[in-house]
């Protein structure tokens, strides 16, 4: 009977980060990562398979780096885990005995309960390279594609499918159907959602916002999408990208505390109701770093941090989660958009009164220098009661993600407007705004003025 010190079920962000963290801290321990797919795709890179990269194989996390660290990668489907015997049972009846276990079983795409979701050419975004290839092949034959859901995954898929059509000189008509008034509304400030929508429209993508899908229709294969307002949109292919739910199937089977909305219940050490078992990533329960309330944020960045924390605590309890922050970035057309923490509308919902400090200024100085985005904008949200930063939103150049990470660190360190306004920042004509108006300093100073 095969055995290992630490078994990790799931080979994506949380699982791989946990394995690396363990091997760095305890190189003498055996670590096995178990996955049911042949290869692990770069999860956030999946949309780019279809346009920019042009092949599923170009979006794979190579195993060699992990194998070189002495991590074992087992390709098997786990059917059950006997917690008493500490025994993992695979679909081929083989077993693996563990001393400690980390569950990184991820999430499952949400599928709305409506007629027609089982029709042919209806896809969700899976993390299985075989399924991703099936979608690739189907898209190559499609002329009209409808993406249901205008969140990050929906918008990025739509953008890349439009690009796929252009690459093949065989333009694909792409439509996004979104329930809310704008795309990306849950993560981004409304003004930046509008900018993203402009970029999508410039790429020829049709946007149907404030629109709900009622049914998918077709004979074997989907041929039209029926909206709640009665309209029917002809289509060759449908992608459902409306979110993900924690994959708790295995945890429930094992008798661990878990609930379908929140995920596998974990404490702040990422430990489940069984002290030898940890969970991390999309499958694990979360709370918001800002409000302390249960959180539905499922991101690779959160999964990595949780995987690191879980692995760090397995042999000695050293690290606690601060809660999920929600730090995002994307690039739509020529515009990069990034966010960390609360949006103004989320702050209103949470009844947190905020002061907003803004800075819109060219990201080069003088503005005539190459790479200048004249209207690069940073928006910072500070609690009115404490002055502490709770949100940051950037729209502009490709350094938007790194800039928002200045704010992500500031949120996690509990810094306030006064501190961010009076700190010193590196600037350079070819790389940033002028030191007179570096975005973080200027937006914080504008908020500090209002906070008094």
CB of 381 to a copy of itself, least distance (A): 16
Which residues have CB under 8 Å from 166's CB, separation 6+?
A: none
Question: Which of 71, 147, 415, 443 touches a copy of itself by CB under 8 A?
Answer: 415
Of the pair 230, 366, the CB lying nearest a copy of itself is at 366
Question: Considering CB under 8 A, how many residues would be counted as binding a copy of itself?
Answer: 85
Question: Which of 83, 349, 371, 385 touches a copy of itself by CB under 8 A?
Answer: 371
Q: Is 174 an interacting residue with respect to a copy of itself (CB under 8 A)?
A: no
Q: Is 434 an interacting residue with respect to a copy of itself (CB under 8 A)?
A: yes
C-alpha to C-alpha distance for 413 and 343, rounded to whole angstroms: 19
CB of 352 to a copy of itself, least distance (A): 19
Question: Which of 6, 103, 325, 355 touches a copy of itself by CB under 8 A?
Answer: 325
| Cβ proximity of 123 and 138 under 8 Å | yes
328-347 mask for a copy of itself (x: CB under 8 A)? Answer: xxxx----x-xxx-------
Stretch binding a copy of itself (CB under 8 A), from 30-38, 242-250, 251-259, 300-308: 300-308
Q: Can you read off the two tokens belonging to residue 294?
A: 């249960």
CB of 424 to a copy of itself, least distance (A): 4
Q: Can you read off the two tokens belonging to residue 125?
A: 């975004």
Of the pair 258, 420, the CB lying nearest a copy of itself is at 420
Q: Is 308 an interacting residue with respect to a copy of itself (CB under 8 A)?
A: yes
CB of 213 to a copy of itself, least distance (A): 27
Stretch binding a copy of itself (CB under 8 A), from 107-115, 213-221, 255-263, 363-371: 363-371
Q: Is 443 an interacting residue with respect to a copy of itself (CB under 8 A)?
A: no
Q: Is 203 an interacting residue with respect to a copy of itself (CB under 8 A)?
A: no
Which residues have CB under 8 Å from 27's CB, separation 6+?
A: 70
Question: Which of 114, 319, 344, 358 touches a copy of itself by CB under 8 A?
Answer: 319
Q: Is 449 an interacting residue with respect to a copy of itself (CB under 8 A)?
A: yes
Q: Is 309 an interacting residue with respect to a copy of itself (CB under 8 A)?
A: yes
Q: Is 370 an interacting residue with respect to a copy of itself (CB under 8 A)?
A: yes
Binding to a copy of itself (CB under 8 A) within 258-297 occurs at 289
Q: Is 428 an interacting residue with respect to a copy of itself (CB under 8 A)?
A: yes
Q: Is 420 an interacting residue with respect to a copy of itself (CB under 8 A)?
A: yes
Three-state SS string over the chain comes to CEEEEEEEECCCHHHHHHHHHHHHHCCCCCEEEEECCCCEECHHHHHHHHHHHCCHHHHEECCHHHHHCCCEEEECCEEEEECCCCEEEECCCCEEEEEEEEECCCEEECCCCCCCCCCECEEECCCCHHHHHHHHHHHHCCCEEEEECCCHHHHHHHHHHHHHHHHCCCCCEEEEECCCCCCCCCCCCHHHHHHHHHHHHHCCCEEECCCCEEEEEEECEEEEEEECCCCEEECCEEEECCCEEECCHHHHHCCCCEECCCEECCCCCCECCCCCEEECHHHECCEECCCCCECCCCCHHHHHHHHHHHHHHCCCCCCCCCCECCEEEEEECCEEEEEEECCHHHHHHCCCCEEEEEEECCCCCCCCCCCCCCCCEEEEEEECCCCEEEEEEEEECCCHHHHHHHHHHHHHHCCEHHHHHHCCCCCCCCCCCCCCCCHHHHHHHHHHHHHC
Binding to a copy of itself (CB under 8 A) within 54-93 occurs at 58-61
Of the pair 66, 123, the CB lying nearest a copy of itself is at 66
Of the pair 103, 389, the CB lying nearest a copy of itself is at 389
DSSP bridge pairs for 355: 382
CB of 116 to a copy of itself, least distance (A): 32
- The label of the residue with tokens 């074992």 reads 72
Q: Can you read off the two tokens belonging to residue 319?
A: 């690290």
DSSP bridge pairs for 356: 381
Q: Is 389 an interacting residue with respect to a copy of itself (CB under 8 A)?
A: no
93-112 mask for a copy of itself (x: CB under 8 A)? Answer: --------------------
Q: Is 305 an interacting residue with respect to a copy of itself (CB under 8 A)?
A: yes
CB of 429 to a copy of itself, least distance (A): 4
What's the residue count for the chain? 452
Binding to a copy of itself (CB under 8 A) within 4-33 occurs at 13, 16-17, 20-21, 24-25
Q: What is the CA radius of gyration of the chain?
A: 23
Of the pair 92, 424, the CB lying nearest a copy of itself is at 424
Of the pair 174, 340, the CB lying nearest a copy of itself is at 340
Of the pair 238, 340, the CB lying nearest a copy of itself is at 340
Stretch binding a copy of itself (CB under 8 A), from 109-117, 168-176, 344-352, 431-439: 431-439
Question: Which of 272, 399, 443, 447 touches a copy of itself by CB under 8 A?
Answer: 399
Q: Quick one: angle between helices 190-202 and 152-167, nearest 10?
A: 20
* Whole-Å CA distances, 84 to 253, 424, 445: 13, 56, 58
């Amino acid at each position: 009977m095969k055995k290992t010190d630490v078994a990790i079920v799931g080979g994506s962000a949380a699982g791989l980060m946990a394995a690396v963290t363990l091997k760095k801290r305890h190189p003498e321990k055996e670590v096995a990562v178990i996955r049911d797919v042949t290869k692990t795709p770069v999860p956030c890179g999946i949309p780019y398979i279809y346009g920019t990269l042009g092949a599923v194989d170009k979006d794979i996390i190579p195993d060699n780096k992990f194998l070189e660290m002495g991590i074992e990668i087992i390709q098997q489907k786990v059917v059950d885990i006997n917690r008493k015997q500490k025994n993992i049972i695979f679909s081929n009846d083989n077993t693996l005995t563990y001393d400690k276990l980390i569950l990184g079983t991820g999430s499952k795409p949400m599928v709305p309960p409506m007629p027609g979701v089982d029709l042919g050419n209806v896809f969700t975004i899976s993390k299985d390279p075989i399924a991703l290839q099936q979608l690739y092949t189907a898209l190559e034959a499609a002329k009209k594609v409808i993406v249901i859901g205008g969140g990050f995954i929906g918008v990025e898929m739509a953008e890349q499918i439009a690009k796929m059509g252009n690459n093949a000189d065989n333009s694909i008509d792409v439509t996004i159907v979104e329930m809310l008034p704008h795309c990306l509304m849950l993560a981004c400030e409304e003004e930046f959602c509008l900018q993203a929508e402009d970029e999508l429209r410039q790429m020829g993508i049709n946007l149907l916002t404030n629109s709900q899908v009622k049914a998918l229709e077709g004979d074997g294969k989907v041929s039209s999408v029926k909206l709640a307002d009665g309209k029917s949109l002809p289509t060759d292919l449908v992608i459902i990208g409306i979110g993900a739910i924690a994959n708790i199937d295995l945890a429930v089977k094992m008798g661990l505390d878990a609930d379908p909305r929140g995920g596998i219940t974990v404490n702040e050490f990422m430990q489940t109701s069984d002290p030898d078992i940890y969970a991390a990533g999309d499958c694990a329960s979360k709370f918001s770093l800002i409000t302390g309330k249960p959180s539905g944020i499922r991101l690779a960045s959160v999964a990595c941090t949780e995987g690191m924390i879980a692995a760090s605590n397995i042999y000695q309890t050293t690290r606690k989660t601060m809660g999920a922050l929600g730090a995002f970035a994307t690039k739509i057309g020529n515009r990069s958009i990034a966010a960390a923490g609360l949006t103004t509308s989320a702050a209103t919902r949470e009844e947190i009164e905020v002061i907003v400090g803004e800075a819109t200024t060219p990201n080069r100085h003088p503005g005539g220098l190459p790479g200048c985005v004249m209207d690069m904008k940073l928006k910072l949200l500070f609690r009115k009661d404490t002055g502490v930063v709770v949100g940051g939103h950037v729209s502009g150049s490709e350094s938007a993600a790194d800039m928002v990470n200045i704010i992500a660190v500031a949120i996690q360190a509990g810094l306030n407007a006064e501190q961010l306004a009076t700190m010193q920042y590196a600037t350079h004509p070819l790389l940033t705004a002028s030191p007179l108006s570096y975005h973080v300093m200027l937006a914080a100073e504008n908020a500090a003025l209002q906070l008094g």
